[in-house]
Structure 1
Amino acid sequence: MGVPLLRFLFRKMWNTRWLTLSTMAGLIVAVAFATSIPMYADGALKRVVTQSLQERSTGLPAGSLLMRYQSAGGGKTDIQALGDVDQYIKKDVPSRIGFPYRSFVSSLSIRGTEVVPVDSTKVDASRMRQLTLMAMSGLNKQTELMQGRWFADGEGGDVLEAVMLEEAMFRNDIHIGDEFDYPVYGGLNISLKVRVVGAVKPLKDTDPYWYQGLESLMGTLQISEAAFKKQLLEKRSIPVNNANWYYAFDLREIKTSQLSPLGRSLDRLNIELYQLLKDTRIEISFADTLADFKRQSLQLQTLLFTLATPMIAMVFYYIAMNARQSLEKQRSDIAVLRSRGAGTRQIMLIYLLEGLLLGLIALATGPLIGWFMAKSIGSANGFLAFVDRKSIPVGFSTEAMIAGLAAVLLAVLSTVVPAVIYARSSIVGYKQKLARSDRRPLWQRWFLDVALLGLAGYGWYLFNERQILTFRTGMTTDQLDVNPFLFFVPALSIFAMGLFFLRVFPLLLKILNRIGKRFLPVPLFLTLTQLSRSSKAYYPLMILLILTLGLGVYNASAARTIDLNSTQRTLYRYGSDVVIQTVWEGRAEIRPGSGNPGNPGGAGNGAGGGNPGGGQAAPTRINYTEPPFEIFRSLDGVESAARVLQAKGNVVISGRSAGQGTLMGIENVDFSKVAWFREDLFPAHPYRYLDLLGDYEQAAIVPSGIAEKFQLKPGDLISVGLGDGMIEFVIVGILPYWPTQYPDQSPFVIANLDYIYDQVPIIPYEVWLKMKTDAKVAPIVTALLDKGIELASVKDVRSELIAQSKHPTRGGVFGILSLGFIVSVLVSLSGYLLYWFFNLSGRIVQFGVLRAMGLSRKQLTGMLLLEQLFTGGLSIVLGLLIGRITSVLFLPFLQTAENIDNAVPPFRVVFEEQDMLQLYGVVGVMLLTGAGLLFLHIRRLRVHQAVKMGEER
């Protein structure tokens, strides 16, 4: 029974090979998409784990694990238990952790004491020396001998031989050959003799081996491990005061699937250590950091899966649509098999085996494509922008395989469940259903489209009321919180609007048919008749096109909006490519009446004066010496340079204080060459305002908010108190924004720099630089230092933008949206072509009848073209339109409740023309290919073969 069943299965798959191949392609894409996200999250984890763990381990290397036994006080040490815990830590702990270690060191020490020279004639006995006997494993491999020799191997004799760090010997005034009495208290009354035989120096003081810090070892006498155990512990029963075991594990290859087991292993380790030797515990561990990073990794995967969910659902819909086409084509075969004795279980088994076979192929090939997709996500620098940066270490993980398996199971269920329903029907039931083919689908009868529209509208309401924005993933892309619901709810909206249109679509067709049946040409009348009678058959294609193209438009706009707004906010905050603050030398001027001479000199970066002496002294004024400025213009890589003063002062309008504001002094020509402007922020071009500044010496530009509050107009006066002087300006321009200025936080006054310096002593300014393309900042800094110009700070907006682009969340968001856009395009194209291919091939008899009735080839072609235009063309236009409407409705909510009030520059939704042209190109290819497919079918149509007795095959 098994072999005939398999033979029948392969024959069936071959007869419907195009549908089988398209279903398999959809399965592979679904598996690839589902596996790429855990792979990317796993790679992102590997990229940042070392830095994250190092920050959490107080300067220790990543993967530091310190276990310590601290004596409770004076009691005898259980040597057997100490040996057991030592063996456990050395042999079992590395296997429990499961990662290689870069360094391991164990140390034993007894209680420190004040040592006394044996021969006071050779050693200065008046000096106090507090030292500790210690034995460290591997000391000879981590140090080099500078003087003397190493201690003897083995337990040695009655005199313990020790080495010390060279620096420690210098500090304690100890020399090679010095002997000391080392008293041991606590009731033992033992005095050990220790001879210093060598001086050592670390080979590399930054090696993890020196986790304790060299400073803590400056008071130690290092003896051999054998001497410590035999002479001190066993022979003299001296209790151990402290025992340390330190590992520096290499966690660079850690995977997300290993986070939880590793955390549990560390938690269990504490219990087992204490059971082996009381008072032994983990002192430093990365368990908490692993738990925190597990949370972050989960948040990243949750965010990316939520972003990808609409696209994955769309792929599943594509698979289900293909399965339905295949089943519709084979439905009569199923009914015949059922009527001839085939059981429901047998028929179901055939389709289940087919689904499992295709699923296995998808599981074998999908993760490989997912690997490349994860690499692409990691190299995403923006929407549809992939750069050749160092790729993230992507690998296959357990989570990725689970996600792929889940995708396969869902896809197989979406194909098998309809087959089960069809397998229960007989040939009589099939014919009855054909007779009731005009019955509305279930979602229309239950008004699910209206319910989904209401749900989407409620989601928009929650966004608008700032309620749903309280949900946080903990991941931000620059200054924008990427809320996953902002991709789930809009996808729901697009789907709901598409379904609602399908409810209205038959009514529109009937109205057009009724209005134009008397005067419409035959092809158009036949098209409307065909569509109005069997509109339900076109629903799968139409909803697929609306969903894919709508999501494509929304994802493209969302990615461009996130990218552009975050980039422009960074550019606005900096104001120019590079902002340099030099160190100004200043000398305090002793003013009459001052009770304190103050500070006669020094460097400063601030403006104005202060009271260095306190009390009743009058404030001093600092006279600054301006560094040479022309040097900046001649630097390699600098296109333009400008002096920009930004100083805090009291803004006074008509004798009333408007509070503290920012006085920005500029030189209009230079500023126009270096500043970043977004032209839509200003009522007129910003150069117009700069021209006005150049026309009047006292000219000033003020923000719109202050102008509205105090009813200011051009020509009014405004004053700014700077230091102990008051500067008066004439308003020549009013505008809402200016680079680096945030009017809601502090008012600003833009004025001429030379005029300000004419009114008050010169105070430090910034230097803004416009850089040439690909010019580096490091050579500029070196050149300035070589010329004696000290720098207080250097801000490079390009470095900031590069750092933002490398953030795992940002790369993940843009990568997922870019891949989703590409998948949307491919799914819509393949879905459209496959649908029309099988639609046309299944209507050969209908076309033959129409041709036999006298319809010309030209009329038949026109009828089918109109049919494509009314279904596919209309769906395409609706998809693009709904996607745009959804973007306008939901994308403004990318602003969070925290930053919506002070968003500068203002948030704007972006539609990139290039993305739309790409979509239009795909649409053009779809329609042209569909038309070509249609012409091919009409050309190959033979009336005498098409018109025949029997079923359509």
Structure 2
Amino acid sequence: MALWTMILRKMANNKWLQLNLWLGLTVCVALFSSMPLYSEAILQRTLIKELQQTQLQSGVYPGFIRIATSVSSSQMDEKTIETIAKADRFAAAIPERAGLELLSFYQQRFTHKMKVYGADANEQEKQYQKTAGSFQSLSDMEKRVKLIEGRMPADRQDGIFEALVTQKFLFATKRGLGEELVLESPESDRSTFRVIPVGIIETNAAADPYLPYLTTEREDSLLIPFEQFEREFVKGGKARLTDLEWRFALNYEQLTVEKVEKFSQAGADIKRYFRGRLGVAEVNMPAIETVASYQGKQEKLDLMMVSLYAPVMLMLAFYLYMTANLIIERQKTEISVLRSRGASRLQIMTAYVIESTMLGAAALAAGPFLGVWFTGALGASNGFLAFVQRSALDVSLSSNAYKIAAAAVGGAILLILIPAFLATRVTIVGHKQQMARLGKAPFWHKAGVDLILVGFSLYLLYNFNRRQEDVKRLALDADALQLDPMLFLMPAIFALGGGLLVLRVYPWLIRLVYWAGRRWWPPALYSSLIQISRSSGQYLTIKVFLIMTVATGLFSANAARTINDNMDSKIRYAIGADIAIATKWESDAPPPLSTESMPQMGTAAGSLTEPRRVQYTEPPFEAFESLEGVEAVAKVFRKPDARFSAGASGTSGKTELIGIDTMAFGNAAWMKGGLLEYPINSYLNLIAPEPKAVLISRSLADKAKLKPGDPIRLNWDGLDQAQFTVFGIIDYWPSWNPLPSVAGNEEGKAAPPHLVVGHLGTIQNRLAVEPYEVWLKLKAGASSQMVYDQLAERKVPVTSLRDATQELIRSVNDPFRMAVNGVMTLGFVISMLICFFGFLLFWLLTLAGRSLQYGVLRAMGLPFRQIIGMLVSEQLLTSGAAVLIGVVIGNTTSELFVPLFEMSFATADQVPPFEITYHQSDYLRLYGIVGTMLASGLLVLAYRLSRTRIAQALRLGEE
């Protein structure tokens, strides 16, 4: 009981320190618990959205499953009947196997096709009748079909079948309802079946919104009761079965990320079970590819979250250690007295373990709920420090989140117990000796930890750069995100090492400033310089903390801005304009050959036939020029397989040819600044007056040794060459990828592509008129949907469409990009908040520890204004200098390590080149936060100092 009393009193006496420590623990728990919460929630939402998008594109319900198999057996023996029964039992268990609720289900059976004619038909009619049909059964037939005339069939036992038919089939038989038909089997036995159509049916769309039965799929079927079909054909074997089919509609909204593997495995099991069991099987699961792509995504996203959080976690660990160290520093005298009076180290550590566990338990109680809020902030991020009113993530606390949170609390408790463990080794004598030796060099200074950290991070940087150069040189396609935790941890290591390295030199700089102006410095600055130069170790913790915080915040801001800007530029550059549309052109091209006619063609004769040029008819262009909401429209002709011939040696090869109208293209196209030697409009103005003028890529100029003024000849298959004149050389052009590619190279090696840009009118007049794309630039505030609706209203036959706005929206909603934006935004905000609390905590404790000094100065007659000047100068020379050092190190870290994020993109498609982006607004926010922090700190310190009584401070010093 005495131990608990001591712990509670000690915590009450240090309530503000304990509150700061609890705050750090709570944020730590929230960060760790938000990782699994976010990865589960965002992948779940993205999965459902992609399945819904699949439904919009294909018109098929995402939970749809269709299993169809032929029956190869010609007779219904016991083995075949049992195999069909087992297949039915397997199909019935599919919803449970997939782990989803069954919304709808039906199955069908089909016999082989038979000749159909009226029972009263004469021999001539029988001979010329070409109508064929088959028996079909449908489970729950009464609920699924729409009866438009007649009645439902009955299960008769007299050998006559009553059936439902479609209107089209009844017309083909030239008979009416109630008139008997005969189905004659094509088998050797020529068996016949008597059938009476009793009802005409059509599709009933309202019967089942998930799984409607479509009568148009098999209009030549005679639908009989399911039980009768089973008795007469499956078990009775009166006609040969040809096909079996099962259809399901499962509730795809229940498909969670945890069930992805189970669903994919169910799809594989279905295919494996029906493969060759009864005959040729076909399994159709529209969602399987989308769902299968999510296997392993959560592990990758979790790894990325850990990697992104690494700098913030390192900073939080430093904050926890700093706070715990400050608490222990205040209690070292108490600890050393207890040790001197016989208390064991185990007893003292037990008290601190209990104290830390109580704080950890409180953090564990509140942290996961704060983690839910963090997860919501991550899901609402639309960019760095940008949030939108996106639908909230469906987040629920799970056992996994609590397990990770508990592990984080355990690790944090061990971290904050380190200072206590070290303090228990010191007796009262040793403690007094340490107090007298505050000026000794710290451990990291002696061990060269700063040099080790900087050297290690630069070594890793060198290896990463080499790897990146290899990827570029070999034109390899990287994955969407190559997740390497060191990619995110290296900047934090470098920032810490760089900060320590600068702080190794900083005391000498202070001494130099002191020595240079020791005769002229005012008393406040003179005192501050002496204090800082003699007790540099006292300020080491806060300076390292501020440097780490500012550098990490700036790196997070620059990295997020760079990733976002490069992703957006890549999408816009690849499309070339806001919208790029290709439409259908009328031509005299022959229809494509059917697969049945191809084997009858002689290959030898076909090889001698020269390809005939297709003549195209250009559709009206006015439909695009009059679109509302469109600012500019341009025709852009692209011929990727054109050929060139140029140079004295007659160098030739493949090139992409782009034909444009210079003025319209300049108004409609999007081009990032700085990619060309001159602005793109300067190149367009250069070739505008001369119809034969062209621009060529630098790769083509180097290969053919061309320069401005040289001729170049162009053509493609079936055309004669036309001569043009080179007017300029370019490195980039909207929608053209200049990076080396293996595709299209006969040698199988990476080769740079070539490009020629000329006038569309000249290309059409001297070469040929072929289909071109239409590039649109939208007016400010105009939506893509407005353009879509107008094109649909004018019945423009669009064959392909690329929309930069929609691509950007999809990119922003990508879970990996949302993680980058959310985590780095959250990291920046947390860094600034922790920086403020850490700064305030340190200086309040410093002021409390130096009350005697300020009391003596006031007793000596030093004005209060001079003491405030001492505080201001001391803060500027410590905290202010640390912030400036942090800005320099943050910028250096960004310059060195942000380019490594280029490996996160598909290297062969990284056009425009990866470029570091700095936003002035981020620096203004940082300076505003730091300025507010320093000002608030000064106000609080000044207030506390003004309330300090001189006599009380002196009496405290005597004690």
TM-score w.r.t. length of structure 1: 0.81
- Code of the residue aligned with 1:740 in structure 2: it is S
Moved more, 619-628 or 819-828: 619-628
Moved more, 50-59 or 668-677: 50-59
How has the CA–CA distance of structure 1 residues 62 and 114 changed in structure 2, closer, same or farther, with 3 Å as cutoff? closer
Residues 478 and 907 in structure 2, CA contact (< 8 A), matched pair in contact too: no
- Give 2:674's aligned residue: 680
Q: Does 1:890 align with 2:897?
A: yes
Cα shift at 1:389: 3.1
Residues 51 and 62 in structure 1, CA contact (< 8 A), matched pair in contact too: no
Residue deviations 1:362-414 (CA, integer Å, cap 9, x gap): 33333333223323322322222222233443333333333323322222332
Residues 481 and 904 in structure 2, CA contact (< 8 A), matched pair in contact too: no
Matching residue within 142, 145, 157 for 1:143: 145
Residues 119 and 181 in structure 2, CA contact (< 8 A), matched pair in contact too: no
Matches within 5 A, 1:638-787: 638-647=630-639, 648-654=642-648, 656-707=650-701, 712-721=706-715, 724-743=719-738, 745-756=752-763, 759-760=766-767, 762-783=769-790
Cα shift at 1:827: 1.7
Residues 579 and 768 in structure 1, CA contact (< 8 A), matched pair in contact too: yes
Matches within 5 A, 1:923-934: 923-934=930-941
- Give 1:329's aligned residue: 330
- SS of the residue corresponding to residue 907 of structure 1 reads coil
How has the CA–CA distance of structure 1 residues 806 and 856 changed in structure 2, closer, same or farther, with 3 Å as cutoff? same
Cα shift at 1:876: 0.8
- Give 1:817's aligned residue: 824
Q: Does 1:166 align with 2:166?
A: yes
- Give 1:547's aligned residue: 548
Structure 1, gaps ≥5 residues long: 589-597, 600-612
Structure 2, gaps ≥5 residues long: 592-604, 740-751
- Code of the residue aligned with 2:20 in structure 1: it is S
Identity, in percent, stands at 32
Distance 1:587 1:65 in 2: 41
Distance 1:11 1:669 in 2: 81
Distance 2:791 2:260 in 1: 48
- Code of the residue aligned with 1:44 in structure 2: it is I
Cα shift at 1:557: 1.1
Distance 1:767 1:448 in 2: 61
Residues 147 and 176 in structure 1, CA contact (< 8 A), matched pair in contact too: no
- SS of the residue corresponding to residue 295 of structure 2 reads helix
How has the CA–CA distance of structure 1 residues 265 and 219 changed in structure 2, closer, same or farther, with 3 Å as cutoff? closer
Q: Does 1:801 align with 2:814?
A: no
Moved more, 818-827 or 509-518: 509-518
- Give 1:418's aligned residue: 419
Cα shift at 1:494: 1.1
Residue deviations 1:340-379 (CA, integer Å, cap 9, x gap): 5656555444433443333333333333332233233223
Residues 76 and 238 in structure 1, CA contact (< 8 A), matched pair in contact too: no
Matches within 5 A, 1:892-911: 892-896=899-903, 903-911=910-918
- Give 1:857's aligned residue: 864
Cα shift at 1:295: 0.5
Cα shift at 1:523: 3.8
Residue deviations 1:824-870 (CA, integer Å, cap 9, x gap): 22222222122212221222123223444565434433333232222
Cα shift at 1:462: 0.8
Distance 2:267 2:656 in 1: 54
Distance 1:429 1:873 in 2: 34
Moved more, 739-748 or 841-850: 739-748
- Give 2:880's aligned residue: 873
- Give 1:634's aligned residue: 626
Residue deviations 1:70-97 (CA, integer Å, cap 9, x gap): 999766479999999989986x876776
How has the CA–CA distance of structure 1 residues 847 and 41 changed in structure 2, closer, same or farther, with 3 Å as cutoff? same
Cα shift at 1:885: 0.9
- Give 1:610's aligned residue: none
- Give 1:375's aligned residue: 376
- Code of the residue aligned with 1:459 in structure 2: it is L
Distance 1:289 1:622 in 2: 39
Distance 1:618 1:71 in 2: 47
Matching residue within 26, 29, 37 for 1:28: 26
TM-score w.r.t. length of structure 2: 0.81
How has the CA–CA distance of structure 1 residues 951 and 211 changed in structure 2, closer, same or farther, with 3 Å as cutoff? farther
Distance 2:193 2:796 in 1: 61
Residue deviations 1:703-746 (CA, integer Å, cap 9, x gap): 34444555544444444346645444444433432323345544
Distance 2:229 2:698 in 1: 79
Cα shift at 1:141: 2.6
Matches within 5 A, 1:447-462: 447-462=448-463
Distance 1:726 1:282 in 2: 51
How has the CA–CA distance of structure 1 residues 265 and 899 changed in structure 2, closer, same or farther, with 3 Å as cutoff? closer
How has the CA–CA distance of structure 1 residues 289 and 717 changed in structure 2, closer, same or farther, with 3 Å as cutoff? closer
- SS of the residue corresponding to residue 643 of structure 1 reads strand
* Number of residues of Structure 1 aligned to a counterpart in Structure 2: 912
Matches within 5 A, 1:322-471: 322-339=323-340, 344-345=345-346, 347-423=348-424, 425-466=426-467
Distance 1:297 1:865 in 2: 50
- Code of the residue aligned with 2:32 in structure 1: it is A
- Code of the residue aligned with 2:729 in structure 1: it is I
Residues 713 and 731 in structure 1, CA contact (< 8 A), matched pair in contact too: yes
How has the CA–CA distance of structure 1 residues 158 and 508 changed in structure 2, closer, same or farther, with 3 Å as cutoff? farther
Moved more, 650-659 or 261-270: 261-270
Matches within 5 A, 1:41-60: 41-50=39-48
Distance 1:501 1:328 in 2: 25
How has the CA–CA distance of structure 1 residues 823 and 195 changed in structure 2, closer, same or farther, with 3 Å as cutoff? same
Residues 578 and 794 in structure 1, CA contact (< 8 A), matched pair in contact too: yes
Q: Does 1:914 align with 2:914?
A: no
- SS of the residue corresponding to residue 636 of structure 2 reads strand
Matching residue within 925, 930, 945 for 1:938: 945
Residues 36 and 370 in structure 1, CA contact (< 8 A), matched pair in contact too: yes
Distance 1:513 1:335 in 2: 37
How has the CA–CA distance of structure 1 residues 299 and 634 changed in structure 2, closer, same or farther, with 3 Å as cutoff? same
- SS of the residue corresponding to residue 948 of structure 1 reads helix
Residues 513 and 525 in structure 1, CA contact (< 8 A), matched pair in contact too: yes
Residue deviations 1:230-263 (CA, integer Å, cap 9, x gap): 8999999999999887654324244444556778
Distance 1:680 1:450 in 2: 38
Cα shift at 1:321: 1.7
Residues 463 and 469 in structure 1, CA contact (< 8 A), matched pair in contact too: no
Residue deviations 1:149-170 (CA, integer Å, cap 9, x gap): 3455xx9756586654637964
Residue deviations 1:519-560 (CA, integer Å, cap 9, x gap): 755444433433344323322222221112111111111111
- Code of the residue aligned with 1:681 in structure 2: it is L
Distance 2:90 2:617 in 1: 68
How has the CA–CA distance of structure 1 residues 562 and 481 changed in structure 2, closer, same or farther, with 3 Å as cutoff? farther
Distance 1:376 1:160 in 2: 69
How has the CA–CA distance of structure 1 residues 574 and 344 changed in structure 2, closer, same or farther, with 3 Å as cutoff? same
Matches within 5 A, 1:526-537: 526-537=527-538
Distance 2:729 2:86 in 1: 80
Residues 580 and 793 in structure 1, CA contact (< 8 A), matched pair in contact too: yes
Cα shift at 1:191: 11
Distance 2:271 2:790 in 1: 55
- SS of the residue corresponding to residue 558 of structure 1 reads helix
**CA RMSD for the aligned pairs?**
4.9
- Code of the residue aligned with 1:144 in structure 2: it is K
